[in-house]
């Protein structure tokens, strides 16, 4: 087993779904097999305009031939393992590439930097996840967490592999993953409820809004921004109980089972549509919205 970098373009021609599978040609099979059972990091190409750099990690469950595409293979992602970084990590910094292993003997960037699938050393992998997750928690939770957020400051282990192991153990913790998910969602929505449009910050500097999963984790929903929405406490309660939902074009749907329709209509923002992140890439995915309408919404 070993870590790999999987390069992923938002306009990819391949059959990719970061939380589920990554498709690649046979030339990368040997490298990808090394990652089976281990964690990989997703990277948007450096030359891509507005590249997010290293933006998420996930664990590869297995490598299989693609049954729909001869000569192609799939890295199947372990359900629920994908975790986006609150702040993506750029490809390079003032010291050069974050992947130090891409520097050749002449001190230049090697051709391996263009490989869509490539191994990454434990030290480089750790550097990426440290920078992706270890940031000041500028969006505080509504209640104190019993477990610290993933980060670097609390542990100073002398061995890279031991630090890496501890970091990855944290990433499998539900409390830690929920904390990271909250930061991602609330930042995208500017701490504003998508249903009411209200933005409240309490006396302790905490945002009075929840980061809700559209498809719950218990039902296979991943911890990614496309499966998240910022909701006030009341809106969250109604959403989870199927009293409100969203159409694929983000119209707010109200269940006919609501006993006081006028109050609910007054509760939602006047546009009747969800107030969403400015970046289209951060908005709810139709696949998750469809799941909520089919499995939760009481039409």
Residue pLDDT, tens place only, 54-93: 999 999 999 999 999 999 999 999 998 999 988 889 999 8
| pLDDT at residue 281 in the model | 83
| pLDDT at residue 66 in the model | 97
Mean pLDDT (the chain) is 86
| pLDDT at residue 232 in the model | 93
Which residues have CB under 8 Å from 111's CB, separation 6+? none
What band does 203 get if pLDDT is binned at 50, 70 and 90?
low
| pLDDT at residue 163 in the model | 67
Long-range (24+ apart) CB contacts under 8 A made by 284-290 are 284/214, 284/226, 284/227, 284/228, 284/229, 284/246, 284/250, 285/226, 285/227, 286/248, 288/214, 288/215, 288/221, 288/226, 288/227, 289/214, 289/245, 289/246, 289/247, 289/248, 290/248
> Can you give the pTM of this predicted structure?
0.76
Residue pLDDT, tens place only, 30-46: 999 999 999 999 999 88
Q: Between these two residues, 243 and 280, which has the higher pLDDT value?
A: 243
- 251, pLDDT greater than 80: yes
* % of the chain with per-residue pLDDT over 70: 86
The CATH class that applies to domain 4-131 reads: alpha beta
* % of the chain with per-residue pLDDT over 90: 58
What band does 276 get if pLDDT is binned at 50, 70 and 90?
very high
Q: Between these two residues, 201 and 221, which has the higher pLDDT value?
A: 221
Domain locations in the chain as residue ranges: 4-131, 190-295
Tell me the three-class secondary structure of 32-43, residue by residue. Answer: HHHCCCCEEEEE
Residue pLDDT, tens place only, 157-187: 445 666 666 767 766 778 888 888 999 999 9
The whole-angstrom separation of Cα 252 and Cα 240 is 14
Residue pLDDT, tens place only, 98-148: 999 999 888 888 989 999 999 999 899 989 988 988 654 444 444 444 443
């Amino acid at each position: 087993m070993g870590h790999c970098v999987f390069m992923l373009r938002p306009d990819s021609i391949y059959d990719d779904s970061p939380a589920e599978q990554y498709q690649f040609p046979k030339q990368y099979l040997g490298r990808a097999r090394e990652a089976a059972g281990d964690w990989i990091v997703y990277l948007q190409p450096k030359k891509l305009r507005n590249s997010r750099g290293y933006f998420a990690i996930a664990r590869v469950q297995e490598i299989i031939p693609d049954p729909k595409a001869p000569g192609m293979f799939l890295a199947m992602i372990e359900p629920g393992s994908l975790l986006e970084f609150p702040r993506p990590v750029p490809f390079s910094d003032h010291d050069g590439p974050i992947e130090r292993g891409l520097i050749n003997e002449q001190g230049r960037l090697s051709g391996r930097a263009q490989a869509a699938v490539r191994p990454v050393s434990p030290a480089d992998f750790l550097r990426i996840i440290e920078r992706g997750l270890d940031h000041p928690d500028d969006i505080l939770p509504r209640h104190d967490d019993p477990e610290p957020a993933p980060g670097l400051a609390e542990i100073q282990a002398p061995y890279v592999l031991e630090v890496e192991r501890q970091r990855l153990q944290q990433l499998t913790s539900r409390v830690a993953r929920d904390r990271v998910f909250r930061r991602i969602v609330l930042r995208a929505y500017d701490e504003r409820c998508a249903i009411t449009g209200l933005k409240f910050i309490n006396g302790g500097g905490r945002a009075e809004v929840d980061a809700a999963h559209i498809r719950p984790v218990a039902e296979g929903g991943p911890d990614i921004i496309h499966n998240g929405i910022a909701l006030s406490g009341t809106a969250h309660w109604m959403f989870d109980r199927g009293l409100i939902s969203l159409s694929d074009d983000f119209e707010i749907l109200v269940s006919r089972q609501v006993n006081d329709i006028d109050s609910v209509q007054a509760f939602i923002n006047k546009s009747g549509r969800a107030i969403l992140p400015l970046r289209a890439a951060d908005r709810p995915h139709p696949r998750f919205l469809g799941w909520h309408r089919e499995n939760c919404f009481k039409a």
